[in-house]
């Protein structure tokens, strides 16, 4: 939701899927009976109980209505498949190397890491063909774990126990090492597929990723895996758009996952702990050189609309409220029915399903290509 006059009240501690004052937010049960701390994921067509309301220290005015706060289980869309085959004559690179080299720049993933993710998928095609694991899920683990080997933390977010169990023997690698992208990716792939689920289906994908890592940061880890896997899948099919403002804005918004919702907040660079809904969308497009008005209603009325009946595209803004009177909420569309959302007080910035029957979705707008 967006304020009439932005302020910067002290935010409450964020949670991942709790209700808000003045409205009981709907949250559905976890798929396959899976329960994790504060995290709610909806299986499609399941009944919806109303959770307890969050304790808030900075409630919004009573007339304010929250935005969507439910994430339906979904898997990333189909991505460009890794190339296979032997190197061509004359000693040129193998097709898989060419594939990795062509996508490394647009996806901002080092080519060796991309090769590792592809090898993880290809290995599972042989070892666990029923798992249907895509390299983009491994790439999501890679960025959430240690930014594809460029940051701190364990490669792929693997625990010591997972590495010992799944990384001891890797096909074609005499001495597997956690620092080797292919070794780590195959180990991670085996860990994901160990439960026997189908990762091409939403419920199976979430169950596998939810069981992959435990600990205090597990909700944020899973959110990042989902968000970046979706981004990589989309860009792999259209790498020429990698530098488009819509992609830059989406990358910025993904980088804010886990920050608290702050009523009137414009983000840490402006002295706030987090963002409200329109503060997040404005800052995301500011980072891409596109200026937007500050509130959800003014953003709705200032950008070209997406024609009715068309699905929004990556980076489009999705709006909630009444076009005739007032738009009260906005999010940034990620693709595959998902949005990056600063929902309301008491919740962190996170990924939610953008449109469900009975909500007040008002349409989408296209700020830039």
What is the per-residue pLDDT for 85?
A: 57
Q: Residues 62-94, buried b or exposed e (16+ Cβ, 10 A)? A: eebbbbbbbbbbbbbbebbebeeeeeeeeeeee
Inter-helix orientation angle 111-127/181-193, to 10°: 40
- Check whether 97 has a pLDDT greater than 90: yes
Is residue 121 a contact partner of residue 82, using CB atoms and an 8 Å limit?
Answer: yes
**pLDDT over 50 (residue 73):** yes
What is the longest distance spanned by two Cα atoms in the chain?
A: 72
Residue 14 is predicted with a pLDDT of 54
**168-183 average pLDDT score:** 92
Dist. CA 177–CA 187, nearest whole Å = 10
| Percent of the chain clearing pLDDT 90 (strictly above) | 65
- Mean pLDDT for the chain overall: 82
Which band of pLDDT confidence, cut at 50, 70 and 90, is reported for residue 207? confident
Q: Return the pLDDT at 93.
A: 73
**212 has pLDDT over 50:** yes
What integer pLDDT is reported at residue 271 of this predicted model? 95
- Strand 317-321 with 71-72, pairing: unpaired
Among residues 15, 21, 26, 17, which one has the least CA distance to residue 58? 21
pLDDT digits (tens, 9 = 90+) for 314-353: 999 999 999 999 999 999 999 999 999 999 999 999 999 9
pLDDT, position 214: 75
pLDDT at 50 over 90: no
CA distance 271 to 273: 7
Q: Which two tokens stand for residue 368?
A: 């830039």
Minimum mean pLDDT range among 21-25, 169-173, 220-224, 228-232: 21-25
**Per-residue model confidence (pLDDT) at position 258:** 95
| pLDDT above 80: residue 78 | no
Other C-beta atoms lying within 10 Å of the C-beta of residue 129: 10
Give how far the C-alpha of residue 254 lies from the chain's centroid of Cα atoms, to the nearest Å.
7
State whether residue 4 is helix, strand or coil.
coil
Integer CA distances (angstroms), 124 to 97, 196, 301, 360, 361, in order: 19, 12, 48, 42, 40
Question: Would the pLDDT of 81 be above 70?
Answer: yes
The pLDDT value recorded for residue 315 is 97
Give 104-163 pLDDT, tens digit per residue. Answer: 999 999 999 999 999 999 999 999 999 999 999 999 999 999 999 999 888 999 999 999
Average pLDDT over residues 178-186: 95
Residue 308 pLDDT greater than 90, yes or no: no
Residue 216 has pLDDT above 80, yes or no: no
């Amino acid at each position: 939701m967006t304020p009439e006059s932005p302020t910067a009240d002290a935010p409450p501690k964020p949670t991942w899927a709790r209700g808000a004052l003045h409205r009981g937010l709907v949250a559905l049960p976890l798929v396959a009976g899976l329960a994790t701390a504060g995290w709610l994921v909806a299986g499609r067509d399941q009944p919806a109980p109303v959770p307890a309301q969050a304790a808030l220290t900075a409630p919004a005015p009573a007339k304010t209505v929250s935005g969507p706060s439910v994430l339906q289980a979904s898997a990333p869309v189909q991505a460009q498949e890794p190339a296979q085959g032997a190197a061509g004559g004359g000693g040129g690179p193998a097709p898989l190397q060419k594939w990795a080299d062509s996508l490394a720049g647009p996806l901002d993933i080092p080519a060796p890491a991309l090769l590792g993710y592809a090898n993880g998928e290809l290995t599972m095609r042989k070892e666990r063909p029923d798992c249907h694991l895509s390299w983009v899920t491994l790439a999501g683990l890679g960025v959430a774990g240690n930014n594809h080997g460029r940051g701190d933390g364990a490669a792929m977010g693997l625990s010591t126990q997972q590495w010992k169990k799944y990384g001891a023997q890797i096909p074609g690698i005499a001495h597997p090492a956690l620092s080797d992208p292919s070794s780590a990716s195959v180990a991670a792939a085996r860990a994901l597929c160990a439960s026997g689920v189908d990762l091409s289906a939403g419920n199976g994908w979430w169950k596998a990723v939810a069981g992959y890592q435990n600990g205090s940061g597990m909700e944020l880890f899973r959110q990042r895996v989902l968000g970046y896997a979706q981004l990589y899948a989309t860009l792999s099919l259209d790498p020429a758009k990698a530098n488009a403002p819509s992609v830059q804005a989406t990358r910025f918004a993904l980088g804010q996952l886990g920050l608290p919702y702050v009523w009137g907040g414009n983000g840490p660079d402006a002295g706030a702990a987090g963002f409200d809904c329109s503060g997040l969308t404005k800052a995301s497009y500011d980072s891409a050189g596109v200026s937007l008005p500050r509130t959800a209603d003014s953003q709705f009325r200032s950008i070209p609309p997406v024609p009715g009946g068309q699905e929004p595209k990556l980076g489009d803004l999705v709006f909630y409220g009444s076009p005739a009177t007032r738009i009260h909420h906005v999010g940034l569309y990620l693709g595959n029915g998902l949005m990056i959302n600063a929902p309301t007080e008491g919740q962190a910035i996170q990924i939610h399903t953008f449109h469900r029957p009975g909500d007040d979705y008002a349409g989408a707008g296209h700020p830039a290509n």
